[in-house]
A = this chain, B = another copy of it.
Amino acid sequence: MKVAVLGAGDVGRSVAELAGEYGHTVTALADSSTAVADPDGIDVAAALDRKRDEGQVGPASPDAALDGEYDVLVEATPTTLDDAQPGFDHVRTALERDRHAVLANKGPVAERYDEVRELEVASEGSVRFEATVAGAIPVLSTVEDYGPGHISAARGIMNGTANFILTRMAAEGLGYEHVLAEAQDMGVAEADPTFDVEGIDAALKCVILANVLAQGERTYRLDDAEVEGITEVSGSALELAHEDGRTVRLIGEITGDTVRVGPRLVPEQSDLAVSGTTNIVQLETDNAGRLNLSGRGAGGPETATAVLSDVGRLPEL
């Protein structure tokens, strides 16, 4: 397939780099202010070098990517909330052109899911968004194949930064601020870690998963989720938990009509208590009990594999 990539951050760059290995041609790459486009395929290496050396991917404006030739538009620009712009408009443009859209950007499917599905119904193109929930872990594909109607609940650890911090606090007996600083030094937490440590990132993923499981019966937005982060978790709480064979993890849950993210006590030995930056999603199924899916929930190449899995599942246009 011909793939146009919007976004030249870690995920966009990795998608551009790996697309060829999956048999696809990258026909455009855009960052926030520039683009390079070629209906026969861009020189990906050159574009990435230019981005690294000059701060821009190409000579053209981003519209050259959005309006150029492609079968699939990969939306890998930064997640934005509320109106989810400009990501939402990017998805709309692709669908109105009867092209496919594959999202790594959580905004449109977390905040305007019903509108995205309406645009999809009216289009020859399809929308897929595996990369928006737990990176490389095939959660949405599994839900789709299993049948969303046959899954009664889901829960998991879907933010590696928060999980890393809690794991370190428990393992080393260190306080939150100390471990956060460590995580920032290691690049596991960002300079502004709010999205991760306040549970917002995990909540967005849960909202998206809830939207898929609801199968159109209702639409969730971030505001519908009850969200509490890890900033108030103390070293002493973790010690107390440990004495009881438990620990504290930031758990996201979708059950019935509720979407909730917050710190929770879990048995140290439970499948759910994955460590470090690992993510896990547990699906409670009607006919096959519990399915556990765990692995890397974030990272450029990791998230790119989810994008490329989605591209592989799209029908020919």
Judge whether A138 and B138 touch: CB under 8 Å.
Answer: yes
A1 to chain B, nearest CB (A): 14
Please report which residues of chain A, range 263-317, place their CB below 8 angstroms from some CB of chain B when the two chains form the complex.
Answer: 269, 271, 285, 287-296, 299, 301-302, 304-305, 308-309, 312-313
Judge whether A292 and B294 touch: CB under 8 Å.
Answer: yes
- Collect the chain B residues with CB atoms within 8 Å of residue A22's CB: 147
A137 an interface residue at 8 Å Cβ cutoff? yes
- Collect the chain B residues with CB atoms within 8 Å of residue A291's CB: 136-138, 293-295
What 0/1 readout, one digit per residue, does chain A (58-69) give for beta carbons within 8 Å of chain B? 000000000000
Give the dominant DSSP class at A's interface: mixed
- Collect the chain B residues with CB atoms within 8 Å of residue A214's CB: none
Judge whether A304 and B287 touch: CB under 8 Å.
Answer: yes
Which residue of chain B is the closest to A294 with respect to CB atoms?
Answer: B292
A163 to chain B, nearest CB (A): 15
- Collect the chain B residues with CB atoms within 8 Å of residue A295's CB: 288-292
A244 an interface residue at 8 Å Cβ cutoff? no
Copies in the complex: 2
Judge whether B308 and A294 touch: CB under 8 Å.
Answer: no
- Collect the chain B residues with CB atoms within 8 Å of residue A142's CB: 138, 141-142
Judge whether B296 and A289 touch: CB under 8 Å.
Answer: yes
What 0/1 readout, one digit per residue, does chain A (131-169) give for beta carbons within 8 Å of chain B? 000011110011001110010000000000000000000
A118 an interface residue at 8 Å Cβ cutoff? no
A116 an interface residue at 8 Å Cβ cutoff? no
Judge whether A288 and B271 touch: CB under 8 Å.
Answer: no
Bound complex: CA A314 to CA B21 (Å): 25
A18 an interface residue at 8 Å Cβ cutoff? yes
Bound complex: CA A304 to CA B146 (Å): 11
Bound complex: CA A290 to CA B292 (Å): 14
Which residue of chain B is the closest to A296 with respect to CB atoms?
Answer: B289
A208 to chain B, nearest CB (A): 18
A180 to chain B, nearest CB (A): 24
27 A-B pairs whose Cβ atoms sit less than 8 Å apart in the complex: A21-B150, A22-B147, A136-B285, A138-B138, A138-B141, A138-B142, A138-B145, A138-B146, A138-B291, A145-B312, A145-B313, A146-B305, A146-B309, A147-B309, A147-B312, A269-B269, A271-B294, A287-B302, A287-B304, A288-B295, A288-B301, A288-B305, A289-B296, A291-B294, A291-B295, A292-B292, A293-B293
